Amino acid sequence: MLHQAERGQIADAQAPAVLDGDPFQALWYAWTYPDFGDDLASVVAAYRQQVVSGAMSFPDVYFLLLLDEEQLRERKQGDTTRSRRNFEHHLRLLETLPRYFAALAELLPKRVHVIQAESVDGNRQQILDALGSLPSQPIDHLAVFDEISGWLLRHAQKR
């Protein structure tokens, strides 16, 4: 459950760093797939301890690059070098991740960016623009964690 958190800690020690993932992935994964793996309340409790102790923190900025289902299927068909395990199972993330990151964006203004991944150049430009306007004030990690985990718990039955 805390594998992504460990990656986040390594990145913090080597800042600046770019992660292809989210230290808090287990939160939104348990929310998206309540019948698979750890239950959301247990994940929230485990992660909260890590945030309180200072062992975990939110990244300075998030970029969620999205493709629609048709584009994902085309990429899967065109790339025989990767297995893309559980492809059909993971399609549910197309519904839940934008909702989660929209809620997180309200808590972390200018630190969460959802990008429709249409071109490498376009993606790069949007990322560079966002990096140029990062807020200078520090993140209150515990307050953000409590708000986003509360949002997840309140919305757990509404998917």
Question: Does any domain span residue 52?
Answer: yes
Question: Does any domain span residue 94?
Answer: yes
Nearest 5°: CA angle at 79, between 97 and 113?
25
Question: Does any domain span residue 21?
Answer: yes
Q: Which range of residues forms the domain containing residue 22?
A: 3-154
Residue 29: pLDDT over 70: yes
**Buried residues in 76-89 as b, exposed as e (16+ CB within 10 A):** eeeeeeeeeeeeee
Question: Does any domain span residue 159?
Answer: no
- What's the rounded Cα separation, in Å, for the pair 112 and 109? 7
Question: Does any domain span residue 25?
Answer: yes
Question: Between 57 and 84, whose confidence is greater?
Answer: 57
Residue 119 tokens read as 């071109």
Residue 140: pLDDT over 90: yes
Share the mean pLDDT of the chain.
Answer: 85
What pTM was estimated for this model as a whole? 0.82
> What pLDDT band is residue 159 in, cutting at 50, 70 and 90?
very low
Question: Does any domain span residue 13?
Answer: yes
How many separate domains does the chain show?
A: 1
Question: Does any domain span residue 64?
Answer: yes
pLDDT tens, residue by residue, 76-112: 777 778 777 778 777 788 889 999 999 999 999 999 9
